[in-house]
Amino acid sequence: MKSLALSFILASLISMPVWADDSGGDIHYDTPVIGVLFSHSSHVDEAGLDCDSCHDDLFEMEALAVQKQPDFNMLALSEGRYCGACHDGEMAFSSSSRCASCHEGAIGYRRALGLGEQVSSH
């Protein structure tokens, strides 16, 4: 009985949505353009970065907070701010290359958020 209860608890933990994860999960930006993905798992698990390489100097621990900055755009990235602090072609691939690596686009954004794939034409 005890192990049955335990596996039930484990199963409910595993099925928690990614954004309930305290290591940050996936963040899907929609301003100024829809469909930019930031993945904690790519940066922490795969690239092996520490939390403090981004928090709190570059980013707050609050999804989408940075979108309130009017300069959260490609120009700022190319000048070494935000993602561009690392995506400079040395530490990580340049923000002026591989557009589709960061830009999942409107369809990918809608799919990831479970909104279906229909994209409004206006």
CA distances from 67 to 3, 8, 35, 86 (A): 45, 38, 13, 18
User: Tokens at residue 66, please?
Assistant: 């940075």
Tell which positions 4-23 bind ligand HEC, by CB under 6 A. Answer: 19, 22-23
Name the segment binding ligand HEC (CB under 6 A); options: 6-14, 91-99, 113-121. 91-99
106 binds ligand HEC (CB under 6 A): no
In the complex, least distance from residue 117 CB atom to ligand HEC, rounded to whole angstroms: 19
Q: How far apart are CA 55 and CA 61, in angstroms?
A: 7
Residue pair 112/105 in contact (Cβ under 8 Å)? The answer is no
Residue pair 67/29 in contact (Cβ under 8 Å)? The answer is yes
81 binds ligand HEC (CB under 6 A): no
Kindly list the residues in this chain that would bind ligand HEC in the complex (CB under 6 A). 19, 22-25, 27, 29-33, 36, 38, 40, 42-44, 46-47, 49, 51, 53-55, 58-66, 72-75, 77, 82-83, 85-87, 91-93, 95-96, 98-99, 101-103
